[in-house]
Structure 1
Amino acid sequence: MCTFVYVGYRGEHTFSLDRASVESGRGRCPHEPSRAFASPVIGGELYAGLTADFLGADPGVFRSMGTRSALRTEVDQRLLHDPKFVAAHLIPDNDDRDNDKAYFFFTEKVVEADSKEHAIVSRVGRVCVNDAGGQRVLVNKWSTFNKARLVCSVPGPGGIDTYFDELEDVFLLRTKDRKSPEIYALFSTVSHVFRGSAVCVYRMADIREVFNGPFAHRESPHHQWAAYEGRVPYPRPGVCPSKTTNQPRRQYGTTKDFPDEVLHFARAHPLMFQPVLPRHRRPLLVKTDLPQRLRQLVVDRVEAEDGQHDILFLGTDAGSVLKVVVIQKANSAVTEEVILEELQVFKMPVPITQMEISVKRQTLYVGSSLGVAQVRLHQCESYGTACAECCLARDPYCAWDGTACTHYQPSGKRRQRRQDVHQANPAHQCLDQNLTVDDFESVEEKVLYGAEDNSTFLECVPRSPQASVQWFVQRPPDEQRDEVKTDERILQTEQGLLFRRLHQHDAGTYYCKTLEHGFTQTVAKTALRVIPSQQLAHSLPRARLWCSSRPQHRKSKLAQAKLVLAGVDVAKKGRTGKAHSERNRVPRHAPAT
């Protein structure tokens, strides 16, 4: 027994219960909270896909809490074999409400005829909302339950595809036609060869076509699945009792009026033979190089200067969210993915368990075991202060308004607005925005002091994840800039340039340049000064003053030691101390004393 409390799934349905209406939760809520479940409310009735006992031996699809009698699936592995429910939604077939269906998305285990091991596959199942069970067969059981396989795979050579079988999350992107939402599904691979994730998009027309197609059939568990070629009784198993199923001589006002032959067939053939394939027969997005696993997915359709773009927010198991736009090439199935941002929402690397979008508030709500956080859908000001930088960001939320990178408004003034998500060509977009080469060379020069034979790091983080980084150095008195050659001693990382052991000839001015779509700009300029090891050794006795036991002199001695290591005469402190102390940096790895 459990007291039942329901929280609206995906924010679509919410309701409250007073004390008089609290009742047993058996078969209506999961008895083991750690197990996945999906539970929308449709017309005041709760539809739940869950495991209804502690041992996980009684999974099913349930309906309860309405005026009609409760329903559930039979305890039969042909219907559900160790399922993990991910999502459930009401999706109408047409304008006749009697044809409304509830769709369940889940994974389950299967055993193929040529294998003794269980494999994981993803499914979409459905039931009619007006299902009332059978009169003599399937009493108080679903009589319209069907299921089909959801395929998300990458075509490979020789017809061998790479499958992503573990369904992680499902998001319905509602359109103007409520009967035809676009279904975004996030998958991961259960392969031992590699780990990765993929997003596939499905059309409702394709899903309905599979459910209207042939049923799957096999003579025994040792036979392969084949399309059922025998006679299918009428009304077709899986259809709802409505005006379309009625005949002049036979009226089907409820599933209790269906012939027993139909119910027996439905019980024996719940699986459809054809799988549901994604749009363009391939994933929209594939990620195999991420250190974390993708867990959650929400999508926002954004109106931009060059059309509509779907922005994906992907929650990971490490507390971060990836913001991605997938750009479809014109008249082609080829896509280009652009990672706009990677947001570390939670300081602790906890899995993200829920995400919701509020288009009205332009906010993403992110949930985990630590709590709920809210994140802005766009941070246009972070893309820089120039037209070219705003254009290169390729964020459909953002556009250059003539003076700054701001939130794009379709109804705004077009004269100064610049945005190009598809091409991101700043030379073309920003030609009339006072774009000159000098604008991207005028970065503030930073001075960094490093100790010879020690390690030093030059920081440079490009604003765009898509930009490639090149380092150049200018050594006095030459004016020529040479590209920095990396080796075992000098390493280029995602955050900058690492000198594992500094040499005197490394001194010079270093330029960090980014290249994206043929556009180059300098994003960091660092003057590296190398302190010779002999001078450092000579200064060590004075540096020991940092650890003086006299607190009142510690601050002044520390300042003196900094100036000594930087090669500045302490006697000149009165004239130069302030200017140097503000911009000079102490060597990162001065020997401890």
Structure 2
Amino acid sequence: MLRLLCTALLHALLLRAQLPPRVDIPAGDPRRPVWRFPLRHGDALLLSADEALLYVGARDAVLALNVSDPARPRLVATVPWGPTEERKRECSLKRKSPETECFNFIRVLVALNRTHLYACGTNAFSPACTHILLDNSSMPWVAVGQRDGKGQSPFDPQHSHTALLDGGELYAATANNFHGTEPIVSRSLGTRTALKTDAFLRWLAGSPHPTSPHGAPSPLTRAPSPDDATFVASAAPADDDQVYFFFEETALEFRCVQRLRLPRVARVCKSDVGGDKVLQKRWTTFLKAPLRCSLSARFPAERIRHVAAAPPAPPAAGTERGAEFYGVFNEPGPHGGSALCSFSRAALRAAFEGRFLEREKENAAWSVRSAPSGEARPGSCSVAPSSDQALTFMKDHFLMETPVPPAHGRPLLLSPNVSYTHIAVHQARGVGGTPYRVLFMATAEGSVHKAVELAGGRALVVESIRVFEEPQGISCVLLSASKAVLYLGHAGGLLAVPLSNCSQHRSCAQCVLARDPECAWSSGSGRCESLRGNGGERGAASSLRRSLTWLQDVEGGDARSRCQRGRSGGAEMEAEMELTLRPAAHSVLRLPCPRRSAWAAYSWERPAGAGDAELLPDLTLLLVAQRRSVGSYVCWATENGVRWAAARYRLLEPDGGGRGSEEEATAPPRPPPHGSYWPQLVAVAALLALTLPAAVGLGLVAFRARGKAGGVEKTPLNGEGGVGGERGCVQMDGGSGGESGGLR
């Protein structure tokens, strides 16, 4: 218990110490343009071999967009592919909504060859697949034929799925039934035997079908159980005989009061052909192992959301190939964040070559079992099982004991209060030819976080780009390296975000502090420019020359020393805001301080004797315009030894009249917030309200007392007598009119 508590405390401290995104760019900011193409449900994306065409699996259609100019995508062809009216009627009878569910949502989109695409969709809860003929002539593209898509596409658009094409064969993982309770990993197409997992042997966590009193499947629909396997990604390295599936399922090997969901990785071999007598048309190489992306080895309770394979890159001399899979995980609980972990194929291989877990009965405890000796290892890709005994062993020994640990033994990144949903990986090279992995992670709110993996097993989020005005989810991501664009599919269409925008950095210091591997300050041109097309992808022979003419420091962001070389212009940075204000006298001024970097420290410099001012949490300076407030106000930012003015304000002597001009009202007077001059103002008003009636009363008493001393009151101006008679005076010494006497 104490160990778990210490682990939780360490995790909380690391989350607190994690740096926030350096720059937060709002939607519509010109620094990060976003190109939009409206359509209905961009849920599947595929680039052509030359990356000139982008195929989009939408609702009831497959679209082809010309993206030769990513900023101006142009529709080339539309292939309508919706369910028939009969299918729609059947879907309604299954108690599904004809307005939102009874459509054909494209879930699988792969390129069979240069002339055909292969697409699969939900088809109004009756999965179907088709071939799409790609015609370069003036004839429209068409869908050719239709086949059963069960096991390749989910029935429900809400069910999880993943699929890839390798060697003309489709490897897919999804729900194999209408209720979503039978997860399956299958291989289809091609000329070899179609294979799948065995539902009866429970190789994947699934729930039994709801049944009617007669034992037949119930016609009533049901939501997938939280115990069912949820697939998030798949990968098939070209130089490997293995296909990997990443998913999440209920861990039966743990005895907990509450069922524990764990991330997994499953592996099958491309060379698998199934068994002859045992495991016919079933995988003989299916194995699965736990994935770990947490600080706790005893209680790994992460939720996997997505995994992406890194672009192939040769390992450094004398070293083994590094991490090749990057995954995003969510921490459970209302206050959890997200974690980013990387995994190597060596770690996956070690897990699948370890010991097996087994149990004799359904409710028995799990135990460890080594592979039988004397023959080929069960589940091995190199040598096929040689006997039915080995295949019988595989039927019950599909779960590995050893979890797959993250590279460097810890997460690359911990982001509190953020929920990552998708990830894409880009390979970039810095000025000296050093390779860097740049990671793009979509959030549940519809932002994109750009992170750079540094040496030593850590990553820094250098940008947070909001792509929507209002929060909404992203359904898929696809990165085009040749176009340097990240494509995002969502319910309302397609977005394209450039991977970098070096021109937004207008000084050497800004360029170096950005820590973008694709951006460097050119000493020759005096601009921050992209290394693409400027020698950034060339060999190591010119790396020394580039390091002298192009200034960059991805690892440390040391702009102070880098920008003092040659004609770099020094480390000077221009102010974000410079204003001259002549406010109205006694007006409340709000002087904002733009935060160009969340990693910088900020402080205000004010004129001597300027009087009281209040600093708000967002660094805004609040003050009252007076004569002593006149002078220069500067908000200074300091990052990595570089100091710059984030904002400069010059306050002139206040106008004695009312409100200042509209031009001067950049910081308009507003009611000060709680904790400034407002309480004093309220107190003074309250005191006046209490003392004014008392003062009036005292004045009346004094006036009457003066009348007593004189014995008479003066005649009213209208010449009429007071109360009690027509004479010009009233008796004041206790007569009949004494009680009612006085002025009215």
Give TM class, smaller chain: 0.7 to 0.9
- TM-aligned CA distance change 1:132 to 1:433, over 3 Å: same
| Residue 418 (structure 1) aligns with | 551
Q: Secondary structure at the match of 1:39?
A: strand
Q: Does 1:15 align with 2:117?
A: yes
1:396-407 matched pairs, under 5 angstroms: 396-402=517-523, 403-407=526-530
Whole-angstrom distance in 1 between the partners of 2:298 and 2:583: 53
Q: Deviations over 1:285-344 (max 9, x none)?
A: 1112x3x41111111121112422211111111111111113224xxx5x3x43322111
Q: Secondary structure at the match of 2:276?
A: coil
Whole-angstrom distance in 1 between the partners of 2:653 and 2:361: 78
| Residue 196 (structure 2) aligns with | 72
Whole-angstrom distance in 2 between the partners of 1:454 and 1:10: 67
Q: Secondary structure at the match of 2:606?
A: strand
- TM-aligned CA distance change 1:344 to 1:72, over 3 Å: same
CA shift, 1:405, in A, is 0.8
CA shift, 1:224, in A, is 4.4
CA shift, 1:26, in A, is 2.3
| Residue 576 (structure 1) aligns with | none
| Residue 260 (structure 1) aligns with | 388
User: Aligned to 2:237, which of 87, 91, 105?
Assistant: 91
- TM-aligned CA distance change 1:222 to 1:347, over 3 Å: same
**Structure 1 counterpart of 2:395, one-letter code:** R
User: Aligned to 2:606, which of 445, 455, 473?
Assistant: 473
Whole-angstrom distance in 2 between the partners of 1:260 and 1:343: 56
Does structure 1 conserve the Cα–Cα contact (< 8 Å) formed by 2:588 and 2:671? Answer: no
User: Aligned to 1:355, which of 477, 487, 490?
Assistant: 477
- TM-aligned CA distance change 1:28 to 1:354, over 3 Å: closer
Whole-angstrom distance in 1 between the partners of 2:558 and 2:301: 35
Higher Rg: 2
Q: Deviations over 1:511-537 (max 9, x none)?
A: 1111111221112101346868xx56x
Whole-angstrom distance in 1 between the partners of 2:175 and 2:337: 28
Whole-angstrom distance in 1 between the partners of 2:474 and 2:293: 23
Whole-angstrom distance in 1 between the partners of 2:582 and 2:362: 73
User: Aligned to 1:140, which of 277, 281, 285?
Assistant: 281
- Structure 2 gaps of 5+ residues are 1-82, 88-103, 119-130, 133-142, 206-227, 673-744
| Residue 105 (structure 1) aligns with | 246
Whole-angstrom distance in 2 between the partners of 1:522 and 1:10: 53
Does structure 1 conserve the Cα–Cα contact (< 8 Å) formed by 2:424 and 2:478? Answer: yes
Q: Does 1:381 align with 2:527?
A: no
| Residue 101 (structure 2) aligns with | none
Whole-angstrom distance in 1 between the partners of 2:186 and 2:255: 33
1:524-543 matched pairs, under 5 angstroms: 524-528=647-651, 539=658
- TM-aligned CA distance change 1:530 to 1:285, over 3 Å: farther
Whole-angstrom distance in 1 between the partners of 2:290 and 2:576: 55
- TM-aligned CA distance change 1:167 to 1:60, over 3 Å: same
- Farther off after superposition, 11-20 or 41-50: 11-20
CA shift, 1:432, in A, is 3.2
| Residue 259 (structure 2) aligns with | 118
- TM-aligned CA distance change 1:520 to 1:424, over 3 Å: same
Does structure 1 conserve the Cα–Cα contact (< 8 Å) formed by 2:425 and 2:438? Answer: yes
**Structure 1 counterpart of 2:632, one-letter code:** T
Whole-angstrom distance in 1 between the partners of 2:233 and 2:189: 19
Does structure 2 conserve the Cα–Cα contact (< 8 Å) formed by 1:509 and 1:528? Answer: yes
Q: Secondary structure at the match of 1:389?
A: helix
Q: Secondary structure at the match of 2:616?
A: strand
CA shift, 1:229, in A, is 4.0
Does structure 2 conserve the Cα–Cα contact (< 8 Å) formed by 1:134 and 1:141? Answer: yes
Does structure 2 conserve the Cα–Cα contact (< 8 Å) formed by 1:448 and 1:529? Answer: yes
Whole-angstrom distance in 1 between the partners of 2:572 and 2:407: 44
Q: Secondary structure at the match of 2:162?
A: coil
CA shift, 1:141, in A, is 1.8
| Residue 150 (structure 1) aligns with | 291
**Structure 1 counterpart of 2:512, one-letter code:** C
- TM-aligned CA distance change 1:423 to 1:590, over 3 Å: closer
User: Aligned to 1:60, which of 163, 168, 184?
Assistant: 184
Q: Does 1:427 align with 2:560?
A: yes
Whole-angstrom distance in 2 between the partners of 1:588 and 1:519: 33
User: Aligned to 1:205, which of 346, 363, 371?
Assistant: 346
| Residue 172 (structure 1) aligns with | 309
- TM-aligned CA distance change 1:285 to 1:442, over 3 Å: closer
Whole-angstrom distance in 2 between the partners of 1:10 and 1:59: 25
CA shift, 1:183, in A, is 0.8
Whole-angstrom distance in 2 between the partners of 1:197 and 1:272: 26
| Residue 225 (structure 1) aligns with | 366
- TM-aligned CA distance change 1:123 to 1:139, over 3 Å: same
Does structure 2 conserve the Cα–Cα contact (< 8 Å) formed by 1:153 and 1:161? Answer: no
- TM-aligned CA distance change 1:317 to 1:113, over 3 Å: closer
CA shift, 1:176, in A, is 4.0
Question: TM-score, length-normalised on structure 2?
Answer: 0.62
Whole-angstrom distance in 2 between the partners of 1:12 and 1:206: 33
CA shift, 1:124, in A, is 0.7
| Residue 454 (structure 2) aligns with | 327
| Residue 446 (structure 1) aligns with | 579
- TM-aligned CA distance change 1:406 to 1:583, over 3 Å: farther
Does structure 1 conserve the Cα–Cα contact (< 8 Å) formed by 2:303 and 2:332? Answer: yes
- TM-aligned CA distance change 1:117 to 1:475, over 3 Å: same
Question: TM-score, length-normalised on structure 1?
Answer: 0.77
CA shift, 1:75, in A, is 1.1
Q: Secondary structure at the match of 2:460?
A: strand
| Residue 481 (structure 1) aligns with | none
Whole-angstrom distance in 2 between the partners of 1:366 and 1:38: 17
RMSD across aligned positions (CA): 3.5
Whole-angstrom distance in 2 between the partners of 1:518 and 1:163: 40
CA shift, 1:149, in A, is 0.6
The size of the alignment, in residue pairs, is 507
**Structure 2 counterpart of 1:517, one-letter code:** N
Whole-angstrom distance in 1 between the partners of 2:156 and 2:439: 31
Whole-angstrom distance in 1 between the partners of 2:168 and 2:571: 65
**Structure 2 counterpart of 1:463, one-letter code:** R
**Structure 2 counterpart of 1:304, one-letter code:** G
Whole-angstrom distance in 2 between the partners of 1:586 and 1:325: 37
**Structure 2 counterpart of 1:280, one-letter code:** H
- Farther off after superposition, 436-445 or 110-119: 436-445
Does structure 1 conserve the Cα–Cα contact (< 8 Å) formed by 2:371 and 2:378? Answer: no
What is the identity percentage for the equivalent residue pairs of Structure 1 and Structure 2? Answer: 30
- TM-aligned CA distance change 1:585 to 1:444, over 3 Å: closer
Q: Deviations over 1:125-162 (max 9, x none)?
A: 0112232322222222222211001111126xxxx777
CA shift, 1:347, in A, is 2.0
| Residue 190 (structure 1) aligns with | 332
Q: Does 1:315 align with 2:446?
A: no
Q: Deviations over 1:185-234 (max 9, x none)?
A: 11111245x31111111110111111111111234455543320473573
Q: Does 1:40 align with 2:168?
A: no
| Residue 303 (structure 1) aligns with | 429
User: Aligned to 1:492, which of 611, 617, 620?
Assistant: 617
- TM-aligned CA distance change 1:219 to 1:443, over 3 Å: closer
